[in-house]
């Protein structure tokens, strides 16, 4: 069974889906309507149950991460061994900083795997908890983000404290 909730955050709406072991998906959106529509495709055959009360604490922890806390959230994300290595490396990037895909590949000891690192970032199911938005192109340019490059730019500015009076426009 996968439980999920949708709630407000500084980025708009956030959906958190979790098994008994931890968060398996985290997604952002502009409004709550239809945010859960992709869950059956993402988790075919799973029993999906909306359970706001059971996930309230994890929702609070996600909000705390957005506010700069190092709140711990257990994860149950599915991926290959390499993807999990990349995701672990992403979690070491400090708030307000970025690394290039090349930097991440080199840190993993596989400098020729830049494209594989980029793919692992693109398939990260628990964005924000695993901060794939902190990875940029070798020239410092913002490359793809599931919710758009503009949102990635706003989120990076928010984390760096460069624009604390204006929250990201949308998710």
- pTM of the full structure: 0.86
Higher pLDDT, residue 11 or 96: 96
Catalytic residue ranges: 132
Same domain, 151 and 85: yes
- CA-to-CA separations, 92 to 8, 57, 139, in angstroms, rounded: 26, 23, 21
The structural domain count of the chain equals: 2
Count other C-beta atoms under 10 Å from residue 6's C-beta: 21
Same domain, 47 and 8: yes
Per residue in 68-97, pLDDT (tens digit) is 888 889 999 999 999 999 999 999 999 989
Using DSSP's 3-state secondary structure scheme, residue 58 falls into helix
- Percentages (nearest 5) of helix, strand, coil residues in the chain: 35, 20, 50
- Pairwise CA distance, residues 112 & 51, whole Å: 43
Instruction: Note whether residue 75 is domain-resident.
Output: no
What is the C-alpha end-to-end distance of the chain, expressed in Å? 27
Same domain, 7 and 44: yes
Same domain, 149 and 91: yes
Same domain, 85 and 155: yes
Same domain, 22 and 62: yes
Residue-level pLDDT at 79 = 94
Instruction: Note whether residue 76 is domain-resident.
Output: no
Instruction: Note whether residue 168 is domain-resident.
Output: no
Per residue in 143-168, pLDDT (tens digit) is 878 777 877 887 888 888 765 444 54
Same domain, 87 and 41: no
Q: In the 8-state DSSP scheme, what is residue 78? A: -
- Given 66, 89, 108, the domain boundary residue is 66
Same domain, 99 and 50: no
What CATH number does residue 42 fall under? 3.30.160.70
Domain residues for 8? 2-66
Which residues lie across from 29 on neighbouring strands? Answer: 13
Q: In the 8-state DSSP scheme, what is residue 127? A: B
Is the pLDDT at 16 greater than 50? The verdict is yes
Same domain, 55 and 98: no
Is the pLDDT at 169 greater than 60? The verdict is no
Residue-level pLDDT at 168 = 47
Same domain, 91 and 47: no
Residue-level pLDDT at 17 = 96
Instruction: Note whether residue 134 is domain-resident.
Output: yes
What CATH number does residue 89 fall under? 1.10.10.10
- Select from 19, 123, 29, 32 the least CA-distant residue to 75: 19
- Given 14, 37, 66, the domain boundary residue is 66
Instruction: Note whether residue 43 is domain-resident.
Output: yes
């Amino acid at each position: 069974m996968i439980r999920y909730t949708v709630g407000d955050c500084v980025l708009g709406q956030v959906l958190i889906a979790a098994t008994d072991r931890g968060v398996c998906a985290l997604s952002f959106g502009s409004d709550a309507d239809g945010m859960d529509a992709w869950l059956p495709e993402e988790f075919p055959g799973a029993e999906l149950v909306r359970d706001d009360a059971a996930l309230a604490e994890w929702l609070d922890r996600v909000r705390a991460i957005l506010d700069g806390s190092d709140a711990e959230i257990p994860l149950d994300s599915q991926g290959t061994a390499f993807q999990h290595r990349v995701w672990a490396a992403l979690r070491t990037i400090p708030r307000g900083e970025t690394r290039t895909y090349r930097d991440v590949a080199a840190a993993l000891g596989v400098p020729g795997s830049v494209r594989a690192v980029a793919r692992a970032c693109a398939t990260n199911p628990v964005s924000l908890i695993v901060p794939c938005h902190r990875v940029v192109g070798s020239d410092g340019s913002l490359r793809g983000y599931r919710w758009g490059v503009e949102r990635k730019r706003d989120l990076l500015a928010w984390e760096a404290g460069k624009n604390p009076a204006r929250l990201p426009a949308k998710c």
